[in-house]
Structure 1
Amino acid sequence: MNADQILSEIREANLSYLMLAQSLIRADREQALYRLGISEENAALIALLSPAQMMKIASGNTLLCKFRMDDDLVWSLLTNHGKAGAANDTTTRLHASILMAGRHQEAA
C-alpha cells in the first residue's frame, strides 16, 4: 500500500467515523458518549456538523478516532476470548466493557 492509498483510507475512515458518530449522537446521546468515548462538548459539536463540514474535517491526513483500549489488561481481556469456553468469553468481554466504562466516567 502506498502513501496515497493510506491517505485515501484515512479519509474514508474519518468520514465513516463522523457519520456513525453523528448518527449515534442523534439517536441516543448518553449511549453515544459511552460508545464513542467523547465528551458532551464534542458530541454537541459533532451533532451540528453539516455534510460539507464533515467532508472537510474528514479530508485531513490524521485519523480522527483512536483505540480506547490503551492498557494491557483490557487488551488481554479482549484478545483471550474463547480460550476457556463461551461463558468465560462473555464474562471477560463484560469485564473489559466495565473497565472501559469506568475510564469513560473518569474522563468526563
Structure 2
Amino acid sequence: MSQQTEQILAEIREANLSYLMLAQNLIRADRAEALFRLGISEETADMIAVLSPAQIMRVASGNTLLCRFRMDDDLVWGLLTNHGKTAANDATSRLHASILMAGRHQEAA
C-alpha cells in the first residue's frame, strides 16, 4: 500500500472518529436538532447514542467514510456556494438551501 493511500485511510479514520463523537454529543444534547443537522433516522440516532468509547473507536477504524454529503443536487450546491452572487444575497441563499435540505429530511423520515 502506498504512503498516499495510507495517509488517505488515516484521514478517513480520523474523520469517522470526529463525526461519531460530534454525532453522539449532538444526539445527547438535543435529539431533534441532531436528527435534522445530521440527516439521520431515529434508529441510527438510537444506535449512535449508546455507543461506548471502545465501540466508537472500532466503528471509526474502518476504511469507509461514515458521513456523506447531503447536498446532492446542483440547486443546493449553487445556493451554498453563491457563484457570482454578492455577499448581501449570501444569508438568503443559505436560508433557502437550509429550507430545501430540511424538506428533504422530512421526506426521508
- For 1:14 and 1:84, locate their aligned partners in 2 and report how far apart those are by CA, in whole Å: 35
Deviation of the 1:83 alpha carbon: 2.1
Query: Which residue of structure 2 lines up, in the alignment, with residue 54 of structure 1?
Result: 56
Against the structure 1 CA distance between its residues 94 and 82, is the aligned structure 2 distance closer, same or farther, given a 3 Å change threshold? farther
Structure 1 runs not aligned, ≥5 long: none
- For 1:82 and 1:33, locate their aligned partners in 2 and report how far apart those are by CA, in whole Å: 32
Query: Which residue of structure 2 lines up, in the alignment, with residue 107 of structure 1?
Result: 108
Deviations 1:41-60 (A, max 9, x none): 00000000000000000000
Paired residue type of 1:49:
L
Query: Which residue of structure 2 lines up, in the alignment, with residue 17 of structure 1?
Result: 19
RMSD between superposed Cα atoms in Å: 1.2
Aligned length: 107
Paired residue type of 2:90:
D
Structure 2 runs not aligned, ≥5 long: none
Deviation of the 1:84 alpha carbon: 2.1
What is the DSSP-based 3-state SS (H/G/I as helix, E as strand, rest coil) of the residue aligned with 2:36? Answer: helix
Alignment check: 8 A CA contact 1:81 1:92 kept:
no
Query: Which residue of structure 1 lines up, in the alignment, with residue 10 of structure 2?
Result: 8
What is the DSSP-based 3-state SS (H/G/I as helix, E as strand, rest coil) of the residue aligned with 2:103? Answer: helix
Deviation of the 1:81 alpha carbon: 6.2
Alignment check: 8 A CA contact 1:81 1:89 kept:
no
Alignment check: 8 A CA contact 1:82 1:89 kept:
no
Query: Which residue of structure 2 lines up, in the alignment, with residue 91 of structure 1?
Result: 92
Paired residue type of 1:11:
R
| Residues 35-74 of structure 1 mapped to structure 2, 5 A cutoff | 35-74=37-76
Paired residue type of 1:84:
T
Deviations 1:61-90 (A, max 9, x none): 00000000000000000011682232x111
